[in-house]
Amino acid sequence: MRYFQGKTVWLTGASSGIGLAMAQQLAEAGAHLILTSRRHDALEQVRQSLAHPERHQVLALDLSQPEQAALMAKDALGDQIIDILINNAGVSQRSLILETDMSVYRQLMEIDYFGVIALTKLVLPRMVERRAGQIVTVSSVAGKVGTKLRSGYNGAKFGVIGFMDSLRAEMAQYGLTVTSILPGFINTQVAHNSLTGDGTALGHEDPDNAGGISAEECARKSLEAIAKQKAEVVVGSGLSKLAPFLQRFFPGLVRRMIAKR
């Protein structure tokens, strides 16, 4: 994809799943990557595995503390120009509302919502000054359709789509591109790492994600949408891809289906 050739792309959640697949494809496309996740050693392994590893850099951040992460990133990046920020880091949830601690809701919001805002606000002034740049956030179909066991995740993803809509409206005058990616069911470790009611990881897959499209296919379709500078795109297959359409035009049907699942 020529669109990414020579561009500096800051990618969060880069050490696994969709983020890792994006990193591999962006490196092949000639991008210069800033790779972010929590663990420096995992990121370094990713960097070394990519095409032209010398072009890329590692920046380990803990987005459960977004303000501190933004300060660390500011110190590390200095005046470096970021052409594209891809907010991909996130954590999901698998627990009933009645059984979920408030601390879990806060953790979901810190990573999935406030983390996006903190890094976006960090890079935005320079993009506005240059009148060039693209902000991308990987949200979810769960940001359009609420389901059981994901109340906190749904809330964070609904919120981040609203934030991106506002950002898009405000940045139009500066010529910046704002893109929301909404994956459906993707076959990654997202369920394994999902938070349960007490904040521990679920530790196993669920049938929905296990039956989804591959991380590589999701990454490819997402990057195609980014290159086309689309405002919003749903990526997936089957019911998870249709869900936002059905929610918009047949909300009663969707409510009944979700209640029965």
Please check whether residue 231 is in contact with residue 179, taking contact to mean a CB–CB distance below 8 angstroms. yes
d(CA 52, CA 149): 41
What pLDDT sits at residue 208? 65
**Low-confidence spans in the chain with pLDDT less than 50:** none
> Where do the structural domains in the chain lie, given as residue ranges?
2-260
Return the CATH number of the domain spanning residue range 2-260.
3.40.50.720
Q: Which positions are annotated as active-site residues?
A: 153
Dihedral of CA atoms 165, 169, 81, 54 in degrees, nearest 10, equals 30
Closest by Cα among 225, 226, 223, 236 to 144? 236
What is the token pair recorded at 128? Answer: 């506005």
What pLDDT sits at residue 15? 96
The pTM (predicted TM-score) of the whole model is 0.95
Buried b (16+ CB within 10 A) or exposed e, 171-203: beeeebbbbbbbbbbbbbebbeebbbbeeeebe
Give me the residue label for tokens 């969060």.
12
What pLDDT sits at residue 155? 98
Give me the residue label for tokens 């906190």.
152
Q: Is residue 135 within a helix (H) or strand (E), and if so which, with residue range?
A: strand 134-138
What pLDDT sits at residue 206? 73
What pLDDT sits at residue 190? 82
What pLDDT sits at residue 205? 78
What pLDDT sits at residue 240? 81
